[in-house]
Structure 1
Amino acid sequence: MVYTLSQSFKVEYTEYEEIEEEFVLNVAQLQLEDAKPADTVVFEKPSAIQMRFIRPLFIRALIEGRLVGRVMVDGGAMVNVMPTSFFKKLGKDEDELKPTDTIMTDFTRSGQQSRGALMTDITVGSKTLRTAFFVVDADSQYNLLLGRDRIHANECVPSTLHGKLF
């Protein structure tokens, strides 16, 4: 459900520039037109230390004996995802995909048909498991996305706080 504010709300943004690779402060103030100064709500951007804990969890893995960086662990994803660009880097052919009628839906509820599923061995740490990846046409910041399917099969607990899998 989405709520929108009427035009009677005034939003002021205060932005500071990046200094020595850290953002000093970004503040957004929401003030009701008829409100008293004490009714002002201030939203502050987390500090650099706090920002460290809200980054995505990226790990390295071995897929078919090749070291792969930028493997994102996402406890909110139901399935494992492989972008088509990485599928091609592995030298795979469309014939190796198992046909599927699965429609992948992202957080914006936009969906797209999966090209198919690829079964492959992936090693994370000392565990090697046969894993199914849904191959999708997507621009991504990751090479592979490991969802709950892989997390539970590997019996691990992801921690963005520690930046590790336990």
Structure 2
Amino acid sequence: MVSTVFATNQISFTDDELPPKGKDHSLPMHIIVKCEDMIVVRVLIDNGLALNVCLMSTLECLNVDTSLIRPTTMIIRAFDGTFWEVQGEIELAIGVGPMLFTVNLQVIKVESPYNMLLGRPWLHATGVVASTLYQRLKFPSKNLMVNIMAEEPLTFFKETYVT
């Protein structure tokens, strides 16, 4: 949904934008993006994450040339204290609503219900304001306010991509 930006350029959320359960939820926020001419579902928006992540399995499904992955010595410490070796990093063009963003992603090989994770580096670079309460992303684009609603809660993990 795209609407006109107010003259003050303020981003706000109203109670009529709350999900059906209102404030009585603790849902993670995941969205749908476009990457490599394919639709990628289950992209987690996490403002507690200090990097952007793409699973190796996601790159393989997108048919991305893995030779584009740049080496890195980074190791990620997960929230449960485990360490994940980063396979490298890659820059991808990711479409969110009407906008296309170039995103630097750390590539890892792990099992996850999510295909990508977009954290603070993406949120801050793009000026996107995420609200897990309202299950929405908002950001100004020229003289419009882009309003992206989160996907429905996860129910199963089989569906991955639609061309």
Q: TM-score, normalised by structure 1?
A: 0.66
Once the 2 structures are TM-superposed, how far is the Cα of residue 54 of structure 1 from its aligned partner? 1.0
- Aligned counterpart in structure 1 of residue 86 of structure 2, from 101, 105, 114: 114
The share of aligned pairs that are identical, in percent, is: 30
- 1:72-111 CA-to-partner distances (Å, cap 9, x unmatched) read 1000111111111111111124311000001011112211
Q: Which one-letter code corresponds to 2:94 in the other structure? A: I
SS at the partner of 2:27? coil
- 1:95-150 CA-to-partner distances (Å, cap 9, x unmatched) read 11000001011112211210000111011122211111111011111111101111
- Aligned counterpart in structure 1 of residue 96 of structure 2, from 124, 139, 155: 124
- Residue 79 of structure 1 pairs with residue 51 of structure 2: yes
Q: How many positions carry a matched residue from both structures?
A: 119
- Aligned counterpart in structure 2 of residue 101 of structure 1, from 73, 90, 94: 73
SS at the partner of 2:80? coil
Match of 1:144 in 2: 116
Matches within 5 A, 1:11-160: 49=21, 53-160=25-132
Once the 2 structures are TM-superposed, how far is the Cα of residue 50 of structure 1 from its aligned partner? 6.8
Q: Which one-letter code corresponds to 1:133 in the other structure? A: L
Gaps of 5+ in 2: 1-19, 139-163
- When the two chains are superposed, the root-mean-square deviation of aligned CA atoms in Å is 1.8
Match of 1:34 in 2: none
Change (3 A) 1:83 1:154: same
Gaps of 5+ in 1: 1-47
Which of structure 1's runs of 4+ aligned residues deviate more than 4 A? none
Q: 88-97 vs 138-147, which deviates more?
A: 88-97
- Mapped partners of 1:52, 1:132: distance in 2: 34
Once the 2 structures are TM-superposed, how far is the Cα of residue 51 of structure 1 from its aligned partner? 7.9
Instruction: Pick the structure with greater CA Rg.
Output: 1
SS at the partner of 2:58? helix
Q: TM-score, normalised by structure 2?
A: 0.68
